Structure 1
Amino acid sequence: MTRTTRTSGTTGTTRPARTTAGSSRGVRLRAAALGGAAVVLVGGLTACGASAADDTDPDRRSFDLPGSTLTVDSDDSALEIVAVDRTPSGKVEVTRWFQGTVALGTDPEATWSLEGDRLKLRIKCSGIVADCSAEHRVEVPRGVAVKVEEGDGSVRARGFRDALDIRTGDGSIHVTDTTGPLNLRTGDGSVRAEVASRTVRARTGDGSIRLELSAVPDLVESRSGDGSATVELPRATYRVTSGTGDGAEKVSVPRDDTSSHVVDVRTGDGSLTVRTAD
């Protein structure tokens, strides 16, 4: 016979109590009810995911930039990087949208700091049921070369005349209205650029690449492990190298092996197209 002790009344005295089959069933039923309530709680929270777009009162901060280079170091946030004339020289303006819920765990938190020329954007969101979403808009003055190191999130960029280097582990990249040299790389996501850059390098492990150039480039390099690649070029003569492991290949631009305009496009598994823009 199993015995436990329990407190009775308000005096704090204890007495032996017999654990019967009926009380055991009651314990099991209460445990099942609590378990069911937890499932309902988890289901309710996960069915309605957090969205940074729901933050109607974003935070804003200005950072002093000591030089002409900036590295944006982000772990888990959608990023918009913009070069603008209105941002004062030596300043970086950041706007942050953040929403997060944690049912069982520490409160979610977003932090930012500038150490030297490295802007660190961090999201802390952990617990049994945690759901967070963040987006940052980073405005830099003209004349600043930017490097982006993104762990998990998409990156959009526009307005750059200077070098732009974007790398993300898992997320798409989209660049517009840019004339500076581009180096774009993602492990898992698409790459798209509508630019007038003279040098464009794009690479993705798993995703499509689409490059639309409005100026005759000196060099275009495109690599896709698993996904299609499309390059649209102004009318000119190009030295083209191309190849695909498994997919259709179509190159219709004028070709000349002595041209100084080099285009090198390769895919592991996907179609490949190099054509003159309409």
Structure 2
Amino acid sequence: MARTVPVRIAVAWVLVAVVAGVSGCGASAGDDEEPERRSFALEGRTLTVDSDDSALEIVAAEEHEAGAVEVTRWFEGSVVFGEDPKVTWSMKDDRLVLREKCSGVVADCSSRHRIEVPRGVTVRVLDGDGSVRAWGFEDPLHIKTGDGSVQVSDSSGALDLETGDGSVRVFDVASREVRAKSGDGSVRLSLGSVPDLVETRSGDGSVTVEVPRAGYRVEAEAGDGSVDVSVPRDASSSRRISAHSGDGNITVRTAN
């Protein structure tokens, strides 16, 4: 019985060393030099991407055959005490489901997916934990992530973007309607053409809206921060900008 305590101490130190070793060199999907690729048939004109824990790149690609979604997957992971990590992908009823299984006493995993979507498809993205980047869309794009940044560029379809914890960035777009929301993070929108509607809100972070010169009906309010509106204001305009922040500065200005 006298050896029990030293043995436990030794085991504890081994565990500490293992954890320290794993956490010191975290897994990165970018280290995967042989990504997997797969094509999924898409029967309708809408696609839902349902991911639990992955960084996502969503791209509108016109060179692919109609009705095909091309997916490239990078994955790196290790589990010291537990089942081997794995990732899965499947398509059912125009819903692409991406899952990562990585659990144990010492688990470290990272995944990334690039999803190339045929043009003319409305895309909805639901990501539990991971950043989302999208570009090239002429059709409506809906993105919601629980924890991660959202970035959209080179698009003209209506945008509806939301993150629980992360920044939202929109630039080089000609969308007529843009809705962007962050629970905890900054929001910055830079539009290349005059929009009909911009609605943006941040619970804790700054809000910046840049739009071409035109008359706008503007509503801007900050719970704790400054408000600077320099675009031409027209209370009777059909073009509307709404910007709100619970804790952060608000800027609505003409794009250079």
TM-score between the two structures when normalised by the length of structure 2? 0.98
The residue type paired with residue 109 of structure 1 is: K
The residue type paired with residue 225 of structure 1 is: G
Q: Which residue matches 2:106?
A: 129
1:218 matched to 2:196? The reply is yes
Decide which of 239, 260, 264 is 2:238's aligned counterpart.
260
**Count of equivalent residues:** 255
The residue type paired with residue 117 of structure 1 is: D
Q: Which residue matches 1:36?
A: 13
Decide which of 132, 141, 153 is 1:176's aligned counterpart.
153
Q: Which residue matches 1:151?
A: 128
Residue correspondence of structure 1 range 1-278 to structure 2 within 5 A:
24-194=1-171, 195-278=173-256
Q: Deviations over 1:95-144 (max 9, x none)?
A: 00000000000000000000011000000000000000000000001100
Aligned mates of 1:27, 1:269 — CA distance in 2: 54
- Aligned residue for 1:72, secondary structure, equals strand
> Residue 25 of structure 1: CA displacement?
3.3
- Aligned residue for 2:146, secondary structure, equals strand
For structure 1, the 5+ residue unaligned runs are 1-23
The residue type paired with residue 113 of structure 1 is: S
The residue type paired with residue 135 of structure 2 is: R
Aligned mates of 1:47, 1:264 — CA distance in 2: 44
**Is 128-137 or 260-269 further displaced after alignment?**
260-269
Q: Which residue matches 1:14?
A: none
Aligned mates of 2:168, 2:71 — CA distance in 1: 24
RMSD: 0.8
The residue type paired with residue 206 of structure 2 is: S
Aligned mates of 1:140, 1:99 — CA distance in 2: 25
> Residue 220 of structure 1: CA displacement?
0.3
Aligned mates of 2:5, 2:145 — CA distance in 1: 49
- Aligned residue for 2:2, secondary structure, equals helix
The residue type paired with residue 227 of structure 2 is: E
The residue type paired with residue 90 of structure 1 is: G
Percent of aligned positions with the same letter in both sequences? 61
For structure 2, the 5+ residue unaligned runs are none
TM-score between the two structures when normalised by the length of structure 1? 0.90
> Residue 27 of structure 1: CA displacement?
3.7
Aligned mates of 1:154, 1:131 — CA distance in 2: 18
The residue type paired with residue 159 of structure 1 is: G
The residue type paired with residue 182 of structure 2 is: T
- Aligned residue for 2:70, secondary structure, equals strand
Q: Deviations over 1:9-67 (max 9, x none)?
A: xxxxxxxxxxxxxxx33343233222212211121111111000000000000000011
The residue type paired with residue 207 of structure 1 is: G
